[in-house]
Protein backbone atom coordinates (compact mmCIF):
# COMPACT_ATOMS: atom_id res chain seq x y z
CA UNK A 1 0.00 0.00 0.00
CA UNK A 2 1.10 3.59 -0.47
CA UNK A 3 1.12 6.26 2.20
CA UNK A 4 -1.58 8.34 0.50
CA UNK A 5 -4.14 5.51 0.94
CA UNK A 6 -3.66 5.13 4.71
CA UNK A 7 -6.47 6.48 6.90
CA UNK A 8 -5.85 8.72 9.94
CA UNK A 9 -4.92 6.68 13.01
CA UNK A 10 -3.33 3.95 10.90
CA UNK A 11 0.23 3.48 9.77
CA UNK A 12 2.99 1.07 8.94
CA UNK A 13 6.67 0.75 8.18
CA UNK A 14 8.20 2.43 5.14
CA UNK A 15 9.22 -0.21 2.63
CA UNK A 16 10.51 1.97 -0.22
CA UNK A 17 10.55 5.54 -1.53
CA UNK A 18 9.81 5.59 -5.28
CA UNK A 19 10.93 9.04 -6.30
CA UNK A 20 13.94 10.52 -8.04
CA UNK A 21 16.25 13.49 -7.79
CA UNK A 22 15.68 16.38 -5.43
CA UNK A 23 12.28 15.13 -4.23
CA UNK A 24 13.74 11.77 -3.19
CA UNK A 25 16.61 13.48 -1.37
CA UNK A 26 14.18 15.80 0.44
CA UNK A 27 11.89 12.94 1.53
CA UNK A 28 14.86 10.94 2.82
CA UNK A 29 16.29 14.01 4.60
CA UNK A 30 12.94 14.51 6.39
CA UNK A 31 13.28 11.01 7.86
CA UNK A 32 11.08 9.07 5.44
CA UNK A 33 13.58 6.24 5.08
CA UNK A 34 12.97 2.50 4.67
CA UNK A 35 12.38 0.77 7.99
CA UNK A 36 10.86 3.85 9.67
CA UNK A 37 7.51 3.52 11.45
CA UNK A 38 5.03 6.16 10.34
CA UNK A 39 1.44 6.93 11.34
CA UNK A 40 -1.07 9.21 9.64
CA UNK A 41 -2.30 11.65 12.31
CA UNK A 42 -4.77 13.66 10.24
CA UNK A 43 -5.66 14.90 6.77
CA UNK A 44 -6.83 18.28 5.56
CA UNK A 45 -10.56 18.45 4.69
CA UNK A 46 -9.84 17.98 0.98
CA UNK A 47 -7.24 15.27 1.71
CA UNK A 48 -4.16 17.35 0.99
CA UNK A 49 -1.76 17.74 2.88
CA UNK A 50 -1.36 14.73 5.17
CA UNK A 51 0.09 15.06 8.68
CA UNK A 52 2.39 12.20 9.69
CA UNK A 53 3.95 11.18 12.96
CA UNK A 54 7.42 9.64 12.69
CA UNK A 55 10.67 9.63 14.66
CA UNK A 56 9.09 11.71 17.45
CA UNK A 57 7.89 14.64 15.34
CA UNK A 58 5.00 15.65 13.08
CA UNK A 59 5.50 16.17 9.35
CA UNK A 60 3.05 17.40 6.72
CA UNK A 61 3.52 16.29 3.13
CA UNK A 62 1.51 16.55 -0.06
CA UNK A 63 -0.70 13.66 -1.05
CA UNK A 64 1.15 13.53 -4.39
CA UNK A 65 4.43 12.92 -2.56
CA UNK A 66 2.85 10.41 -0.16
CA UNK A 67 1.78 8.33 -3.18
CA UNK A 68 5.47 7.64 -3.87
CA UNK A 69 6.07 5.97 -0.50
CA UNK A 70 5.26 2.27 -0.08
CA UNK A 71 4.34 0.91 3.34
CA UNK A 72 3.98 -2.51 4.83
CA UNK A 73 1.98 -3.33 7.92
CA UNK A 74 3.87 -2.74 11.15
CA UNK A 75 3.61 -6.38 12.24
CA UNK A 76 4.58 -7.87 8.86
For the chain, give every domain's residue range.
Answer: 3-72
> pLDDT digit string (tens) for 44-66?
988 889 999 999 999 999 999 99
The predicted model scores a pTM of 0.86
Longest dimension (CA), the chain: 31
Compute the half-sphere exposure of residue 35: CA atoms within 13 Å on the CB side of its CA: 0
Residue 61: the pLDDT is: 94
R_g of the chain, CA atoms, integer Å:
11
CA distance 40 to 20: 23
Residue 54: the pLDDT is: 94
CATH 2.30.30.90 assigned to 3-72? yes
Amino acid sequence: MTLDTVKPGEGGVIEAVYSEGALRRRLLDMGLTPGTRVMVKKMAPMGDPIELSLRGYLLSIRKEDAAKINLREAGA
